[in-house]
Amino acid sequence: MGTSKWLDKEVTVLPGVGANRRQLLAKLGLYTLRDVLYGFPRTYQDFTRVWSPDELREEGEYLVTGELVELTERPISGGRRLVQASLHMDGSYLRLTWFLVHRGRGYTYIYNRLKGAKRLWAYGHAKRALVEWEMNSPEFFLRQPKLGLTPVYPLVAGITNKMRISWAQFALEHLDELYECLPSHLTAKYGDRHTAIRDMHFPGSWAAQKKARTRLVFEEFFLFHLGLQSGVAQADGWPHKVDGPLVKRFLEGLPFRLTVGQAQSIADVRADMESTARMGRLIQGEVGSGKTVVAQYAAVKAVESGGQVAIMVPTEVLARQMADRFRDAFQHLGIEVDLLVGSLTKKNREEVLKRLQNGELQVVVGTHALITEGVEFKKLTLAIVDEQHRFGVEQRQALGASSGADMLVMSATPIPRSLALTMYGDLDVSTIRELPRGRKPVDTRLIHPSQRERVYTFVTSRVKQGEQAFVVFPLVEESDKLDLKAAVQEMERLKAGPLRGVRVGLVHGQMGKEKDEILQAFYRHELDVLVATTVIEVGMNIPRATVMVIENADRFGLAQLHQLRGRVGRGDKQGYCFLIADLKTDTVRARLNAIRNSNDGFLIAEEDLKLRGPGDLLGLRQSGQPMFLLGDIVADQELLIIAAEAAKALLGQDPELDEYPTLKEELNRQRPAV
Ligand code: ADP
Ligand code: MG
């Protein structure tokens, strides 16, 4: 076990692979025999049967056969030749077409082979022409090809599919060295590893291929979740006291009634905090769903139990806002709240650090500054992280790791369950689905660019009523100078024209400290309109803001648009969102209509995930690298959930995986790079 002789050897042990091809294989990500084993086909040629004309469809590829009844060739434009053949099959005809370079090797080869043929087998996409079917540039054979599924591998110039087939066969001869890693109750369900790998390369049928893929995707997801979950759930936390007078006073003093989702989340947090196990909980809820009160409840509970609380948010502006909100809510409770951010003066910072260390300061709100060196608590028992996807898993865990503080994570991005599982597989999830009663959904409208002036006239009228507005311009890349210039120019134009007399500020991603100052000014209502790139996406709570104007709305993802829309109408006034876009295509129209017609962030997020893929959704673009080799977190969502649960069950029963040495070894070998 573990000491494999062959699998970890370099690809140069493959027949016909020297220094040159080794470099080519590296381009395909193949370095060792193990990589070759796991270098699965991209698709298969389906030679499982020969199809008759009335079975053909326009999708998929088909193997057909017929009598060659006509063969023509003639020059066409661009120095090419058109070769056409007609197959007679069961009373109908199929036309085969090739466009070939005049006197090129392909031309000579194809034309000469066709010339002598009587019967032909062709393989390719079928298309309906006027009355007959046709295939463009099909593969063809003069004899019936071996029936079955032929793997088609990813290739680079210099590596042929034939080579890859023979190397896969070579690697499979050493398959015995690969041990089974899944426990027997799972192999009973999903099949064994050897069969799966063999059937992925050379499946006897589509059913066998499907089963093999399912087993390997399950394995991938299962290992990922074991890695994510191990070591978190079992950790000891602080057993907080049951709710006492302080918590009661906090809850009784709330100016509103809790929604069902809030009450449930608070109940979940209460149970977690009172238990001896370390809490790891995600509160997931739409913008404006009222997550803060859940965090405040947890904080009061921690303080009442004699603990300290740290709250980490992504930016200084948000930290200041959050500190204000906590101070307001805690004033009558006598709980001390202070701020720890990078811009504090040295003296100020030292003062805060001292009060954290001696326990005088009970609640601290801050940015990354909280996880920098020199920050020590007397007794940190609760760590809260807001808007988590701005932080990495490691940063999140760094906060409160040393003291084993209970962990509460709040995310305003409603993410589909599959993605929540991959991103936060180590956390339990509470969801607040509904918005507080009485909150009116934002009135969302699609506006053609030619109507834009009317939108700004409307903005001006709202500003006169003491309300505020956002105007958002998309920058594809924060570094895109051209786009930035366009945004600046547009702002100047707005200020001179439709927004004359209105106090307008501009923020963008390339600003430094100045940006925070402008955001603060907007927050304090010293500005009426904030023109921005997407930097305002996260967390700003401006109750007076009622209008959101989004220029070039078609350039945003749905989830992003929904997030932006959530920035307005948070007070008691009606919110408006104007999506300015030229509805050039049906897709654009369909997408923007989806936003206009729905206020359910979860639905929109599911839609977005389907349309754009997971990387884009969270702005995670991992240099185009999919998270998994085979698994697709959208298409294989169900399997992902099952795998997560299976991992949890196994860790619950054997936290150290002592009974599963091969599994443990596999896990250590391929720790996910989170
Ligand atoms: P989130 O952080 O989830 O985006 P907040 O916690 O900032 O949302 O809440 C948004 C606004 O709704 C705040 O002004 C808050 O006081 C208010 N709010 C929260 N819960 C309720 C409730 N149950 N009823 C009425 N208003 C509420
Ligand atoms: Mg919030």
**Out of 391-400, 557-566, 593-602, which region has the weakest mean confidence (pLDDT)?**
391-400
Q: What DSSP character marks residue 129?
A: -
Of 463 and 233, the one with more pLDDT: 463
Query: Is pLDDT above 90 for 642?
Result: yes
Rounded to the nearest angstrom, the distance between the alpha carbon of 674 and the centre of ligand 2 is 25
For ligand 1, pick from 250, 251, 256, 264 the residue to mutate: most ligand atoms within 8 Å of CB.
256
Angle at 389 between CA 267 and CA 357, to 5 degrees: 70
**Can you tell me which atom of ligand 1 is nearest the CA of 541?**
7
Give the mutation target among 544, 570, 572, 573 for probing the ligand 1 site: most ligand atoms within 8 A of CB.
Answer: 570
On whether the CB atoms of residues 135 and 122 are closer than 8 A, the answer is yes
430 within ligand 1 shell (Cβ under 6 A)? no
Name all contacts of 84-88 with Cβ < 8 Å and 24+ positions apart. Answer: 85/114, 85/120, 87/120, 87/122
Q: Which atom of ligand 1 is nearest to the CA of 291?
A: 3
- Give the Å distances, CA to CA, from 584 to 156, 448, 593: 37, 10, 13
Report the separation in Å between the CA atom of 265 and the middle of ligand 1, taken as the mean of its atom positions: 14
Kindly indicate the confidence band of residue 110, based on its pLDDT and cuts at 50, 70 and 90. Answer: confident
**pLDDT tens digits along 11-63:** 999 999 999 999 999 989 899 999 999 999 999 998 988 998 888 988 888 99
- Count, in order, helices (H) and strands (E) of the chain: 23, 22
Q: Is the pLDDT of residue 91 over 90?
A: no
Residue 407 bridge partners (DSSP)? 280, 383
Ligand 1 pocket residue status of 292, Cβ below 6 Å: yes
The residue-averaged pLDDT of 105-115 equals 84
Q: How far apart are CA 525 and CA 669, in angstroms?
A: 55
- In the chain, what percentage of residues exceed pLDDT 70? 90
pLDDT at 549: 95
Q: Provide the CA 139 distance to its chain's centre, in angstroms.
A: 38
Confidence of residue 477 (pLDDT cuts 50, 70, 90): low
Pocket test for ligand 1, best of 262, 287, 289 (most atoms within 8 A of CB): 289
Across 14-23, 73-82, 88-97, least confident range? 73-82
Task: Give the β-pairing of 308-312 and 380-386.
Answer: parallel
Structure tokens at 161: 């599919």
164/153 Cα distance (integer angstroms): 7
Check pocket membership of 183 for ligand 1, CB cut-off 6 A.
Answer: no
- Tell me the two tokens of residue 131: 């009355």
Q: Is 265 touching ligand 1 by the criterion CB < 6 Å? A: no
Is the CB–ligand 1 distance for residue 290 below 6 Å? yes
Residue 559: band (very low, low, confident or very high) from pLDDT cuts 50, 70, 90: confident
The structural domains of the chain, ordered by start, are 54-146 (2.40.50.140), 259-432 (3.40.50.300), 443-598 (3.40.50.300)
pLDDT value at residue 671: 47
Phi, psi for 169 (deg, rounded to 5) = -60, -45
Closest-lying ligand 1 atom to the alpha carbon of residue 262: 23
**Average pLDDT value for the chain:** 86
Q: Which atom of ligand 1 is nearest to the CA of 539?
A: 4
Cα–ligand 1 centroid distance for 291 (angstroms)? 7
Mean pLDDT of 89-103: 86
Q: Tell me the C-alpha distance between 505 and 520, whole Å.
A: 11
pLDDT above 80: residue 244? yes
Lowest mean pLDDT among 206-215, 350-359, 570-579, 665-674: 665-674
Q: Among the ranges 140-149, 156-165, 605-614, which has the highest mean pLDDT value?
A: 156-165
- Judged by its nearest atom, the ligand closest to the C-alpha of residue 266 is 1
Longest dimension (CA), the chain: 96
Ligand 1 pocket check: which of 292, 321, 387, 567 to mutate, most ligand atoms within 8 Å of Cβ?
A: 292
**Mean pLDDT along residues 507-513:** 77
- pLDDT reading at 550 higher than 70: yes
Ligand nearest to the CA of 296: 1
Q: Tell me if 644 sits within 8 A of 224, measured CB to CB.
A: no
Range of 175-179, 423-427, 590-594 with top mean pLDDT: 175-179
Which residue do the tokens 């109908």 mark? 92
pLDDT score of 283: 92
Q: From CA 564, how far away is CA 537, in angstroms rounded?
A: 6
* Residues pairing with 507 in the sheet: 532
Return all residues near 513 (Cβ < 8 A) that are at least 6 apart: 343
674: confidence class by pLDDT, cuts 50, 70, 90: very low
The stretch 647-652 carries a mean pLDDT of 90
Provide mean pLDDT across the span 407-427: 76
Q: Look up tokens 């603990």; give the residue.
A: 307
Q: Whose CA is nearest to atom 5 of ligand 1?
A: 290
pLDDT at 623: 32
pTM of the model: 0.63
pLDDT at 620 over 50: no
Predicted local distance difference test score (pLDDT) of residue 3: 54
Q: Is the pLDDT of residue 379 over 70?
A: yes
CA of 611 to the centre of ligand 2 (A): 27
Segment (H or E) for 520: helix 513-523
Which runs of consecutive H residues, i.e. helices, occur in 424-471? 452-464
Residue 500 CA to ligand 1 center (angstroms) comes to 34
Highest average pLDDT, of 244-258, 282-296, 376-390, 425-439, comes from 244-258
pLDDT at 496 over 60: yes
pLDDT at 673 (0 to 100): 34
3-state secondary structure 579-636: EECCCCCHHHHHHHHHHHHCCCHHHHHHHHHHHHCHHHHCCCCCCCCCCCCCCCCCCC
pLDDT level of residue 295 (50, 70, 90 thresholds): very high
Specify the ligand 1 atom closest to the Cα of 285.
3
The token pair at 317 is: 């502006």
Report which protein residue has its CA nearest ligand 1's atom 15: 290
Query: Poorest-confidence range of 340-344, 429-433, 666-670?
Result: 666-670
Percent of the chain with pLDDT over 90: 48
Atom of ligand 1 minimally distant from the CA of 292: 6
The best mutation among 541, 542, 565 to test binding of ligand 1, ranked by most ligand atoms within 8 Å of the C-beta, falls on 541
For ligand 1, say whether the CB of 413 is within 6 Å of any of its atoms. Answer: no
pLDDT of residue 618: 46
b/e sequence 354-386, b meaning 16+ C-beta within 10 Å = ebbeeeebbbbbbbbbbbeeebebbebbbbbbb
What end-to-end distance do the CA atoms of the chain give, in Å? Answer: 27
Strands of the 363-366 sheet, one edge to the other: 337-340, 363-366, 308-312, 380-386, 406-411, 280-285, 428-432
Confidence check: pLDDT of 94 > 50: yes
Q: Which of 333-342, 435-444, 466-475, 601-610 has the lowest mean pLDDT?
A: 601-610
Spacing, Cα 289 to ligand 2 middle (Å) = 8
Predicted local confidence at residue 395, as pLDDT: 67
Is 84 a pocket residue for ligand 1 (Cβ < 6 Å)? no
Q: Is residue 569 lining ligand 1, measured as CB closer than 6 Å?
A: no
Q: Is the CB of 283 within 6 Å of ligand 1?
A: no
Residue 538 scores a pLDDT above 70:
no
The Å distance, Cα 342 to ligand 2 centre, comes to 21
